[in-house]
Structure 1
């Protein structure tokens, strides 16, 4: 299925407003009297300037999907009004006279009824979705509290007692229990990162997140980092979980063998590009769309889902390149400066 490129989605409304503004602009140039110039040129041109301004603002503040939906609705209503204008013009041409209010009333009311039906149906569906999302959010909050207060606390007790027992007896089973408990506690923290969000992202230092995430690597993994200091990006307190997911993907793909991971970050226009290279050739890193990632197919898929989902939460993008020597994952994250729109407003 063909998918519109993200940059085109992001700027679709601004491009639409700019293109539509050419019509009243031309009308303003060719108008022969000031009344026609104002009503047929200046006023519509100002309205289209407002649409273009909104498109530029959405491109900087909203997701590409949000902007694409607004553009679709805008073009649909524009197409409907063009049909109405053609209808009235054709009727006036056939009548060869000025149309009375009684003649226009059936046209306007029928189109208004159809438009009201369409908009009302979509609004009702939107309200139903909002209700379902609110109930789902309540269940997610309950799950978050359950994981934090019961499962995570219980895992920490198991780890503490297992470490104590292993230190006293040198029992290998106690060591295994402690390691398994730590792994379970970390997976719980990753799950909490997926279900919890405090709203809009805020500036978080990437270097600090990398230092926190590298503690999850075992002795078989060698990490080489090159991150500017400081390096703020728009994220939240789960940024270290995102970086950890990137690192653990390489570790899981290595299957217990030695692996070298190189993590670098470069500042780009409006954001920071994080690049993670590894020398684990198999299995390949494939999907970057959360809907196509099979999270039931092992921890590797879960780490991949975690990375893609958190990146999208922050308004970033993911790209994957595989070759015979390993894989490269590139993540673009917006910088705090990207929150300023094109007119310099924060």
Structure 2
């Protein structure tokens, strides 16, 4: 521990030493039976010394627990010691010009000067350090706000650029797929692949739209309402089979299950389903989706037969910083979206036989309640 970080302890010790001097004076007066030396000036000095000693000890203890940095705490100590020495020097000069009536008064005068000077210096130093701390925080906040604004502008630019390029490319892919479908026979085996290409181009267009919706929700809040979870899950399972023709899927999904969410709910399950296949090293990957309901909540289990998730990565799966695990940003998006719906997502099982992710969402009526979607602010 550096000396700077012990500034508060030094002040407490200094106050204790001055208190010890005061106690020693009383003991000496009592033992030597020289109470006649006590006069009004000496008593006034004692009365005014005690608050300074208490403030010095309490202030030192508080300083040690404060949020001030060690360097700032040391500056407070320097203020206290400097003021004590300076005030003592002034009073010594007065004692030389107006000599005390006896040595006891001289000692009391010096002790009083040190305690009052140290306490006053502590107050000055502490409030100065706090002012500096606030100024530094304000400057950092200003810099961070500027950096955030710069990043936001760059994000807006990149988003616009990406949407423009992706939408144009998706439109070209979809257009050529339609041309080829029109020139192909439906009995041609390639016709099915063209249909998949067309659907994937449409999905790519929808993804760019969802990115825009997600960015808007950050600034404007979220409108939540009843969403047909049954349709969402069946649609996402169909897309999964389009993307990975070799995957086996199994579903246990009741009809007419609604949850309180928004248009981006499908991104929760598209990411979970993609994650279940992309990191599956088995020769025959399979994914099982099951849904169970209660009066207030809906639980969705997404299970795979993959190799499981390493223990070192389990606590980092939903981290907001990408690159910490092999699972990328997909699970981060899942966690963000589920949180804004007022739900929970967790890894409930994992091992050599596969993993299970469980998503719990608030249940909703199949029809709006007449009050319109509930708007709530979110931070994504």
1:209 maps onto 2:220 in alignment: no
Give how far 1:208 is off: 3.8
Give the distance between the partners of 2:114 and 2:300, measured in 1 at CA: 67
Partner of 2:357: 329
1:237 maps onto 2:267 in alignment: no
Q: Secondary structure at the match of 2:330?
A: helix
CA contact (8 A) 2:252 2:291 kept: yes
Give the distance between the partners of 2:324 and 2:139, measured in 1 at CA: 34
Partner of 1:291: 321
Give how far 1:119 is off: 1.5
Q: How do 1:1-346 residues align onto structure 2 when only pairs under 5 Å count?
A: 79-80=67-68, 106-107=124-125, 109-143=127-161, 145-147=163-165, 149-167=167-185, 170=188, 172=190, 175-187=192-204, 189-190=206-207, 192-194=209-211, 196-197=213-214, 198-199=216-217, 200-201=221-222, 202-205=224-227, 206-218=229-241, 221-226=248-253, 229-233=256-260, 235-252=261-278, 253=280, 257=284, 259-266=286-293, 272-278=298-304, 280-282=305-307, 284=309, 287-293=317-323, 301=327, 305-315=329-339, 317-320=344-347, 321-333=349-361
Give the distance between the partners of 1:238 and 1:149, measured in 2 at CA: 18
Partner of 2:44: none
Instruction: Return closer, same or farther for 1:110/1:134 CA change in 2, 3 Å cut-off.
Output: same
CA contact (8 A) 1:141 1:196 kept: no
Instruction: Return closer, same or farther for 1:162/1:331 CA change in 2, 3 Å cut-off.
Output: same
Q: Deviations over 1:270-324 (max 9, x none)?
A: x65432123x2347586443535489x8xxx56xx32431331442554333223
Q: Once structures 1 and 2 are overlaid, which stretch shifts more, 145-154 or 95-104?
A: 95-104
Q: Structure 2: which 5+ runs fail to align? A: 1-63, 85-110, 365-373
Q: Secondary structure at the match of 1:257?
A: coil
CA contact (8 A) 2:272 2:334 kept: no
Give how far 1:228 is off: 8.1
RMSD between aligned alpha carbons?
4.7
Give how far 1:237 is off: 1.2
CA contact (8 A) 1:322 1:328 kept: yes
Q: Once structures 1 and 2 are overlaid, which stretch shifts more, 251-260 or 154-163?
A: 251-260
Q: Once structures 1 and 2 are overlaid, which stretch shifts more, 152-161 or 280-289?
A: 280-289
Q: Secondary structure at the match of 2:284?
A: coil
TM-score by length of 1: 0.55
Give the distance between the partners of 2:271 and 2:176, measured in 1 at CA: 24
Give the distance between the partners of 1:340 and 1:171, measured in 2 at CA: 48
Equivalent residue pairs, number: 253
Give how far 1:239 is off: 0.9
CA contact (8 A) 1:210 1:243 kept: yes
Give how far 1:327 is off: 1.7
Give how far 1:135 is off: 0.9
Instruction: Return closer, same or farther for 1:324/1:164 CA change in 2, 3 Å cut-off.
Output: same
Give the distance between the partners of 1:204 and 1:277, measured in 2 at CA: 25
Bigger Rg, structure 1 or 2 = 2
CA contact (8 A) 1:262 1:277 kept: yes
Give how far 1:131 is off: 1.4
